[in-house]
């Protein structure tokens, strides 16, 4: 077989990752990063992130650009160091279609995209789960996320049944059409701060485990929304702004909840897009049924 003929068809090393918004969760921290993670449930959205990787021998140090701006990006840098540290500096460029720091899994998307792109770029021979496990470890290490990567690697409405990295944690999906999801972002919440607040995490975890148990009795999108909304209040994470936005959507015949972790609200059904307009700039995307992959 002509290898040249095949290699001509290899695309540039560019990966795509959906955003991921968690509706409810409970954190599970272990010593080993690949056993750490969270259980819960969240939605992958078509507003995603593209990451391009290329060797850059001319550089002294790996360069990472986030939306065109040079960035320290410690989570993606961890992935680059782990996967390509012995191959000289690389250049990573991530373009986000999603907000940053508002619970859309942007850091996970950047790290996961970097893992896929570097794997392809350097022909590292990692499977999807193996590449994604490195991104998960980066997130857990920097406390930027606990469950985004395993969900983003799958796509759809993902239930995280047992915590851990892709290939270790256990997930399932709830069947769902690629329907429209609207959202409004009010401001960021620091994932790191919440995850480090022991008292707050106690309430979060109790509410999250309860919601998961309830969801598995009736795993549907409507029930996911209902339980997420309940978790928003029970966990103590809800802002006054978020509760008002959620109620406005409900009054318009839709369902809404807070994005975990961001001061942001997502909604579907009824006149939810219209109802959210009083609370900020409304963006509308769709559920992404596909997960991370090469672009």
Given the rule CB under 8 A, which residues bind its own copies? 1-11, 15, 116, 119-120, 123, 125-131, 155-156, 159, 167, 172-179, 216-220, 222, 225-226, 229, 250, 252-255, 268-270, 289-291, 293-295
Scan for tokens 């290939």, then name that residue: 167
Residue closer to its own copies by CB (options 189, 292) is 292
**Cα–Cα dist 59/31, whole Å:** 35
Q: What is the C-alpha separation between 260 and 58, in angstroms, rounded? A: 40
Question: How far is the C-alpha of 222 from the C-alpha of 255, rounded, in Å?
Answer: 8
| 3-state class (DSSP) for residue 2 | coil
| Smallest distance from its own copies to CB 272, Å | 9
As measured in angstroms, the least distance from the Cβ of 289 to its own copies is 5
CB of 6 to its own copies, least distance (A): 5
Pairing of strands 180-188, 262-268: antiparallel
**Spatial contact of 54 and 13, defined as CB atoms under 8 Å apart:** yes
Contact 265, 242 (CB under 8 A): yes
* In the complex, minimum distance from the CB of residue 111 to its own copies, in angstroms, rounded to a whole number: 15
Q: Residue 33 Cβ, how far from its own copies at the closest point, in Å?
A: 19
Query: Regarding beta strands 69-71 and 255-258, do their DSSP bridges make them parallel or antiparallel, or are they unpaired?
Result: unpaired
CA distance 279 to 266: 12
Residue 14 or 283: the one with the smaller Cβ distance to its own copies is 14
CB of 179 to its own copies, least distance (A): 7
259 closest CA partner among 196, 251, 276: 276
Residue closer to its own copies (CB basis): 35 or 252: 252
Structure token pair of residue 5: 């003929």
Query: Nearest-CA neighbor of 181 among 284, 277, 95?
Result: 284
Residue 136 or 195: the one with the smaller Cβ distance to its own copies is 136
Residue 55 burial by Cβ neighbours in a 10 Å radius (0-12, 13-18, 19+): middle
Q: How far is residue 33 from each of residues 49, 191, 251, measured CA to CA in Å?
A: 24, 17, 42
Give the pair of three-digit tokens for residue 29. 């921290």
Least separation in angstroms between CB 58 and its own copies: 27
For its own copies, give the closer residue by CB, 192 or 218: 218
CB of 104 to its own copies, least distance (A): 20
- Residue number, 131 or 149, with CB nearest to its own copies: 131
Give the residue with the Cβ less far from its own copies, 99 or 224: 224
CB nearer to its own copies: give 13 or 207: 13
């Amino acid at each position: 077989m002509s290898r040249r003929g095949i290699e001509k068809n290899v695309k540039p090393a560019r990966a795509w990752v959906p955003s991921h918004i968690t509706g409810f969760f409970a954190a599970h921290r272990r010593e080993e990063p690949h056993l750490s993670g969270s259980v819960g449930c969240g939605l992958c959205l078509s507003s995603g992130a593209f990451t391009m990787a290329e060797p850059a021998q001319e550089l002294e140090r790996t360069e990472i650009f986030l939306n065109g701006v040079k960035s320290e990006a410690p989570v993606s840098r961890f992935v680059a160091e782990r996967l390509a540290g012995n191959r000289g500096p690389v250049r990573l460029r991530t373009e986000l279609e999603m907000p940053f720091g508002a619970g859309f899994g942007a850091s996970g998307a950047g790290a996961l995209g970097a893992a896929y792109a570097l794997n392809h770029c350097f022909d590292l021979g990692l499977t999807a789960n193996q590449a994604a496990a490195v991104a998960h470890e980066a997130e857990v290490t920097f406390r930027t996320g606990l469950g985004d990567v395993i969900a983003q690697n799958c796509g759809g409405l993902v239930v995280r049944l047992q915590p851990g990295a892709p290939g270790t944690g256990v997930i399932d999906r709830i069947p769902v059409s690629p329907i429209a999801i609207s959202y409004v972002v009010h401001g960021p919440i620091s994932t790191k701060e919440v995850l480090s607040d022991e008292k707050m995490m106690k309430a979060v975890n109790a509410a999250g485990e309860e919601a998961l148990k309830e969801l598995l009795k009736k795993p549907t999108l409507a029930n996911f929304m209902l339980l997420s909304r309940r978790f928003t209040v029970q966990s103590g994470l809800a802002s006054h702004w978020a509760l008002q936005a959620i109620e406005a959507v409900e009054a318009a015949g839709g369902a809404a909840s807070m994005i975990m972790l961001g001061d942001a609200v997502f909604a579907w059904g009824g006149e939810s897009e219209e109802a959210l307009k009083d609370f900020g700039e409304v963006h509308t995307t769709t559920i992404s049924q596909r997960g991370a992959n090469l672009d």
